[in-house]
Structure 1
Amino acid sequence: MTIRVALVGLGVAAKSIWLPQLAHHPAFELTAVVDPDHTAGAGLEARLLVGTGIDVLTPSEVDLAVVAAPNHLHCELACALLAKGIPVFVEKPVCLSTAEADRLREAERHGDTVLLGGSAARYRADVRALYELSGRLGRIRHVDLGWIRAGGVPGGWFTRRGMSGGGALIDLGWHLLDTASPLLGGSAIAQAAGTLSADFLDDERRRVTWRVDLGGADLGDVEDTARGFLVTEDGVSVSLRAGWASHEPVDTTTIRVEGSAGVATLSCTFGFSTERAGGPVLTHLRDGKTVPIAVPPEPIGAEYRRQLDLIPAQLTDPACRGRAIQDAAWTVEAIERCYASAAAYV
């Protein structure tokens, strides 16, 4: 059975990821698009139901709504769609605060349907290999997370706090923390500290170059770099660095998992940047010996297709209800607490 999908929001994520992914996936049929800009749907197929608001969407015509609007609208739109009884997939960040996470949890329950969250990095082949290797590390003691771009400050609403909810921490940090969450077993955060900086934010040389629709000369009021340190109630420490720009020559993502029986390190590049560190490298360090672990190659963006592959089963599995918001609540609490800590130094 084909899943009829409504795409809510026709911005960067929708046009670069979800429109092409949905068009080429046999399990889905795009039947409706919604965007407050009535011209946003220009050039799309005439058969599509096009509207400027979600009032045009009903459960009888839509099996799934994909919310890819600006961040500050995610919770509002998802709650309204869930109230209609329409299952919802929300692009990251699923929510911008723990208060919004609570609202989404209640909306999912009252709507008697399911909320799914954007967490594409978990579905990368190299990250899945890291998860498998981490199962052989004994008790996890520390996780080091880093995604540092050489230059990739986005423009538009991304750098306006009122619409984005924050800068590099909510943008890149969400992916990093969401990826680390399964390694930590959902253990609550006991302590958090964070710092923010914006040394590159208004430097035109540091703007995004691989997507013109992310550029622009708007001055922002968010951080371009965030550093954080967390300790879970189980005593696991987590260090985090997320940067839209830096003095590095290329963009690099690093996840290092230290356990009682060894260390796993993944070096790769998340996202779509053209300034990449090269193919992923996964290693296992134990007793002074480093062993490379083979990682299957995959094209950039394959994780989004892999996430779509799982959605049909998730829509019919009662066990999936509440799972996405539980993960999102942990991630946004970590981000929220890092922002609160950093505010003391502003």
Structure 2
Amino acid sequence: MRVAVVGLGWAGRSIWLPRLREHAAYDVVALVDPDAAARAELAAALDGQAPVGLFDDPDALRRAEVDLAVVAVPNHLHSFVAARLLNVGVPVFLEKPVCLSTAEADTLAAAELAGGAMLLAGSASRFRADTRALYDLAGLLGEIRHVDVSWVRARGVPDAGGWFTQRSLAGGGALVDLGWHLLDAVAPFVGTDGFVQAVGTVSSDFVANAAWGAAWRHEDAAQSRAGGDVEDTVRAFLVAGSGVSVSLRASWASHQALDATVIRVEGSAGTAELRCTFGFSPNRHPASTLTWTKDGVDSAVDVVTEPIGAEYRRQLDELPALLADAGQRGRAVAQARSTIAAIERVYDSARPRNHAIPAARVAF
């Protein structure tokens, strides 16, 4: 499969490009970024190992030459760039957040229909071995009633002072970043009717201090700029159309010692709890644990603890089959619309300390 990587920031360089290059199913034929220095740096790193086109604009990509575009540009450009590619018939694999408003979701749906190409979305949390074990265990829980889900970092504000902490460019803070992963992870438990109620609070106790930056993303994080106008923590309560309730917390930083992700699913016939750490931070619990509780008895369930980032490789394993499945058309947009609608509700409820997500339109 001939692939173009659009966006050569941290996600494009660190997550997708190396995995695409080592995967037998993919041939990286194009790199796209408006920054000439970023293009030149990667071209030098490739050292002529494969002929790769270097472009400053995704409009240079053609369906006859590219089978898939992996789009990993800054958040405010996600739907804008993806829609342009879809409109000319180039299939797109889009990093989260897929969109920053329900209006952008509608634009993506129209582009997918107009160009006849399929949109697939990054969904790392569902491709983890431990979350898949949790999904399998859910069949023993009876009717699902409630899910507690959290991803709390010890120190992990991304790119403090950069675009990631500017609402006009990122669309939001920890809710849009970590919260999108969490809402995606719980989607199999809550059904397809979306969320009908959502309230939440947000706070920004750590964004202004560079000491709380994600040093694992940038070695010089402690010397980076601090500040921003987004939240570093969100606490929310949501109710799905199916009646399942969800308690959610996402935090870029906290006073706990290690980064941790917890998903606890309560059913009419039992409870299951997964403890692990999503993401790439090395400041994590060493192993995933999965527990099934019924009638007062806790039972440990065998679960694989994979190398960090294995879920991204697994997504690439499954992408070709998804692209070949006509039944996948429209599913990514539908899920994204449900997710961003819930996020909008939470932000709206958090006013006046927080503002609604802007529908940014900035040229690539």
- With structure 1 as the length reference, what TM-score do the two structures score? 0.97
**Distance across 2 between alignment mates of 1:185 and 1:136:** 17
Aligned pair 1:255/2:259, yes or no? no
Higher deviation after alignment, 323-332 or 76-85: 323-332
Partner residue, 1:239: 247
Partner residue, 1:51: 55
Higher deviation after alignment, 72-81 or 153-162: 153-162
Instruction: Please say if residues 210 and 226 of structure 2, whose CA atoms lie closer than 8 Å, have aligned partners that are also in contact.
Output: no
- SS state at 1:30 partner: strand
Partner residue, 1:93: 97
Partner residue, 1:290: 298
Aligned pair 1:133/2:137, yes or no? yes
Aligned pair 1:62/2:66, yes or no? yes
Q: Residue 92 of structure 1: CA displacement? A: 0.6
Counterpart amino acid of 1:4? R
Unaligned runs of at least 5 residues, structure 2 = 355-364
Aligned pair 1:145/2:149, yes or no? yes
Instruction: Please say if residues 209 and 226 of structure 2, whose CA atoms lie closer than 8 Å, have aligned partners that are also in contact.
Output: no
Partner residue, 2:174: 168
Counterpart amino acid of 1:159? T
Partner residue, 2:358: none
**Cα-Cα RMSD:** 1.2
Aligned match of 1:195 in 194, 201, 205? 201
Counterpart amino acid of 2:11? A
Aligned match of 2:163 in 154, 157, 160? 157
Distance 1:41 1:213, change over 3 A: farther
Counterpart amino acid of 2:265? V
Aligned pair 1:339/2:343, yes or no? no
Unaligned runs of at least 5 residues, structure 1 = none
Aligned pair 1:209/2:215, yes or no? yes
**Distance across 2 between alignment mates of 1:217 and 1:247:** 21
Counterpart amino acid of 1:241? R
**Distance across 2 between alignment mates of 1:213 and 1:175:** 25
Counterpart amino acid of 1:32? A
**Distance across 1 between alignment mates of 2:193 and 2:247:** 15
Aligned match of 1:271 in 264, 279, 299? 279
Measured against aligned partners, the alpha-carbon deviations of 1:268-315 in whole angstroms (never above 9, x if no partner) come to 000011110221000001100000000023111000010001111111
- With structure 2 as the length reference, what TM-score do the two structures score? 0.92
Q: Count residues in correspondence.
A: 344
Counterpart amino acid of 2:209? D
Instruction: Please say if residues 74 and 95 of structure 1, whose CA atoms lie closer than 8 Å, have aligned partners that are also in contact.
Output: yes
Counterpart amino acid of 1:274? P
Aligned match of 1:41 in 39, 42, 61? 39
Partner residue, 2:189: 183
Q: Residue 213 of structure 1: CA displacement? A: 6.9
Partner residue, 2:84: 80
**Distance across 1 between alignment mates of 2:321 and 2:271:** 34
Counterpart amino acid of 2:203? S
**Distance across 1 between alignment mates of 2:39 and 2:210:** 30
Measured against aligned partners, the alpha-carbon deviations of 1:251-281 in whole angstroms (never above 9, x if no partner) come to 0000000000000000000001111022100
Aligned match of 1:122 in 108, 120, 126? 126
Higher deviation after alignment, 291-300 or 38-47: 38-47
**Distance across 1 between alignment mates of 2:190 and 2:220:** 33
Q: Residue 345 of structure 1: CA displacement? A: 5.0
Measured against aligned partners, the alpha-carbon deviations of 1:149-195 in whole angstroms (never above 9, x if no partner) come to 00101122110111100000000000000010111111221211010
Instruction: Please say if residues 181 and 331 of structure 1, whose CA atoms lie closer than 8 Å, have aligned partners that are also in contact.
Output: no
**Distance across 2 between alignment mates of 1:133 and 1:177:** 19
- SS state at 2:273 partner: strand
**Distance across 2 between alignment mates of 1:214 and 1:175:** 26
Instruction: Please say if residues 155 and 214 of structure 2, whose CA atoms lie closer than 8 Å, have aligned partners that are also in contact.
Output: yes
Instruction: Please say if residues 154 and 214 of structure 1, whose CA atoms lie closer than 8 Å, have aligned partners that are also in contact.
Output: no
% identity of equivalent residues = 56
- SS state at 2:39 partner: coil
Measured against aligned partners, the alpha-carbon deviations of 1:11-49 in whole angstroms (never above 9, x if no partner) come to 010111001110110000000011011121123235211
- SS state at 2:264 partner: strand
